[in-house]
């Protein structure tokens, strides 16, 4: 009886271990490339042009791109992309960070403001103009949101997307996009 149990266990383990192994181990390629698309009109010099909304403090816009290897294939697993911007803006102490409106519906079915609260910046707060990170999807596509503010009108914003190898942190690639804020 012990012999059959040991043989059965050995057969099961052989199938389990055999199904988990692969003939080709996955190795992170060292030839990734990042491409970026500003999703805006582009001039002959490669600069994108973003018209800032004049009736709002901040204009939001989505950037897209891809991380692919030299054969045009997406990464084996999602890759983290760090996003950086040449521009930031600040809250200074005492600035209104947010106003909270508490509302309710009255008997006529209309919204009525019951209470408001204002949150003030206790100290200087740095606000980035790009979301700091994202991950690639199964097709290698990446994206991030930018949010320049009206006082940046006339500036040229530079956004970079950066990938760093999880195995070799010296392996880093970067792609840039430049956007004129009009």
For 66-105, the pLDDT digits (tens) are 999 999 999 999 999 999 999 999 999 999 988 999 999 9
CB atoms within 10 A of CB 122: 10
Annotate 127-146 with b (16+ C-beta within 10 A) or e (fewer). Answer: eebbeeebebeeebebbbeb
Q: Which CATH class is domain 29-87+129-182?
A: mainly beta
Mean pLDDT value across residues 45-52 = 98
pTM for the whole structure? 0.76
For 104-133, the pLDDT digits (tens) are 999 999 999 999 999 999 999 999 999 999
d(CA 161, CA 83): 5
- How large is the greatest C-alpha to C-alpha distance in the chain, in angstroms? 84
Element (H, E) at 19: helix 2-20
Q: Where in the chain is the domain with CATH 2.60.40.10?
A: 29-87+129-182
How large a percentage of the chain has pLDDT more than 90? 75
Residue 167's pLDDT band (boundaries 50, 70, 90)?
confident
Beta strand 156-164 with 172-181 is: antiparallel
The torsion defined by the Cα of 145, 146, 149 and 155, in degrees rounded to 10, comes to -160
């Amino acid at each position: 009886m012990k012999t059959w149990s040991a043989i059965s266990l050995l057969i099961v383990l052989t199938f389990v271990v055999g199904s988990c192994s692969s003939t080709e181990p996955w190795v992170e390629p060292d030839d990734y490339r990042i491409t970026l698309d500003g999703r805006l009109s582009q001039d002959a010099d490669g600069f994108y042009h973003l018209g800032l909304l004049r009736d709002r403090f901040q204009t939001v816009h989505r950037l897209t791109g891809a991380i692919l290897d030299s054969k045009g294939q997406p990464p084996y697993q999602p890759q983290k992309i760090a996003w950086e911007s040449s521009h930031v803006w600040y809250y200074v102490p005492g600035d209104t960070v947010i106003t909270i409106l508490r509302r309710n519906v009255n008997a006529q079915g209309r919204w009525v403001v019951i209470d408001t609260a204002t949150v003030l910046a206790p100290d200087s707060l740095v606000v980035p103009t790009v979301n700091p990170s994202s991950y690639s999807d199964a097709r290698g596509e990446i994206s991030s949101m930018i949010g320049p503010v009206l006082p940046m009108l006339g500036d040229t914003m530079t956004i970079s997307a950066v990938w760093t190898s999880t195995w070799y942190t010296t392996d880093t690639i970067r792609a840039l996009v430049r956007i004129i804020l009009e």
